[in-house]
Amino acid sequence: MFELTNKKAVITGGGSGIGRAIATLFARQGAAVHILDISEAACEGVVSEIRELGGTVQAHACDVAVQEAVLACFGAIGPVDILINNAGIAHIGKADTTPEADFDRVMSVNVKGVYNCLHAAIPQLRANGGGVIVNMASVAAWVGIKERFAYSTAKGAVMAMTLSVAKDYLDDGIRCNSISPGRVHTPFVDGFLAKNYAGREAEMFAQLSKTQPIGRMGRPDEVAALALYLCSAEAGFITGSDYPIDGGFITLNN
């Protein structure tokens, strides 16, 4: 079950965190993995890990916010079977405290970046007889989270794009779903704590963990396992759905 042998998968933002976990797991399950990240240097660790496991992987330096670069990258990769739109950036701020430049930056990566990859990949998926797309949304698209105005806006757009793509390409054999993680322990979390709570990292880590009703943060490999299922033949009856993986955050945090 959950084999991806002979499948070619593109994973954006695959150099670290959730993207890295997805890339590693997909390679273990037989996929030829192509990682898109802002620089090849950002992918060195995961590329080495996958190759040590005997997997097939190639890294591509690509700014997903630049359509010309994305089209060139997908053109070099060739026909694909799976697209994981994972690349994204975070932002803290309310509507009246978010500078225009920050808002535009979040939209360019988290919304336009997803669109650019969809725009490039869908013709290849169609030509390949179909395939699977998984977009990384967020619990921030489901519930209000303090001081996440731009980020929530972007992830709401990702969820809406998921529904639109799922509807538009049913007849082409393309399935499209999204995943909405809660708080997941990634290098971003550690960097955020070090920057904003120097000397109090352990205390704040515990506080952030408790915001998930299950009592801890998620792990990247847990999100990767869900992505694997959604991209596998076993999920062939699933499209146009969002899957929260949030330790009960959406439904139990009352």
Helices (H), 29-148: 44-52, 67-77, 100-107, 113-127
pLDDT digits (tens, 9 = 90+) for 192-232: 889 889 999 999 999 999 989 999 999 999 999 999 999 99
Percent of the chain whose predicted confidence (pLDDT) is above 90: 93
Angle between helices 113-127 and 67-77 (to 10 degrees): 30
Write out the DSSP string of 126-157.
HHTT-EEEEEE--GGGTS--TTBHHHHHHHHH
The yes-or-no answer on residue 197 being catalytic is no
Q: What is the pLDDT of residue 254?
A: 61
Kindly report, as residue ranges, where domains of CATH 3.40.50.720 are found in the chain.
8-182+219-247
Q: Distance between CA atoms of 27 and 29, rounded to whole angstroms?
A: 5
Identified catalytic residue from 115, 151, 169, 243? 151
Residue 117 pLDDT class (50, 70, 90 cuts): very high
Query: Which of the residue ranges 23-27, 40-44, 63-67, 118-122 would you say has the lowest mean pLDDT?
Result: 40-44
Q: What is the pLDDT of residue 253?
A: 77
Residue 226: partners with Cβ closer than 8 Å, 6 or more residues away: 179, 243, 245
Name the token pair of 28.
């273990």
Per the confidence metrics, is the pTM higher than 0.85?
Answer: yes
pLDDT digits (tens, 9 = 90+) for 81-102: 999 999 999 999 999 999 999 9
Q: What is the pLDDT of residue 223?
A: 98
Q: How distant is the alpha carbon of residue 116 from its chain centre?
A: 14
How large is the average pLDDT for residues 60-73? 98
User: How would CATH label the architecture of 8-182+219-247?
Assistant: 3-Layer(aba) Sandwich (3.40)
Q: What is the pLDDT of residue 196?
A: 82
Residue 80, number of CB atoms within 10 A of its CB: 23
